[in-house]
């Protein structure tokens, strides 16, 4: 039972770090984003994800920048697309 409590405490601590820590290591960033470390490495090598290499070797990530990167390319809901279509048709003088 004590071992289970330690494991839960470690998980809570790790999750709390993600909410408070501003700069993440590669391991933390991959875990935070829910991707494998190898995929994160591919993203950095392709220059597709913002990262820092202060000493030329280790990669670090800004948590806020990761959140912004994850939230780009939002997919509109069906309702939003329908509303845009209606607005476009109204501007063109058409009726749906």
pTM score over 0.75? no
d(CA 85, CA 83): 5
Query: Does the domain formed by 2-91 have CATH 1.10.1660?
Result: yes
- Cβ neighbours for 89, distance < 8 A, ≥ 6 positions apart: 95, 96
Q: What is the CA 25 to chain-centroid distance, rounded?
A: 14
Per-residue model confidence (pLDDT) at position 18: 63
Written as tens digits, the pLDDT of the chain (96 aa) is 688 877 877 777 666 666 778 999 999 999 999 999 999 999 999 999 999 999 888 999 999 999 999 999 888 899 999 999 888 888 877 555
């Amino acid at each position: 039972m004590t071992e289970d409590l330690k494991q839960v405490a470690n998980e809570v601590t790790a999750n709390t770090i993600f909410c408070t820590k501003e700069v993440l290591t590669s391991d933390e960033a991959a875990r935070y984003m829910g991707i494998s470390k190898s995929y994160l490495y591919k993203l950095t090598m392709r220059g597709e994800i913002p990262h820092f290499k202060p000493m030329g070797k280790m990669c670090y990530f800004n948590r806020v920048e990761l959140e912004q990167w994850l939230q780009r390319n939002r997919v509109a809901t069906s309702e939003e697309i329908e509303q845009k279509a209606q607005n476009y048709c109204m501007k063109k003088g058409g009726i749906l």
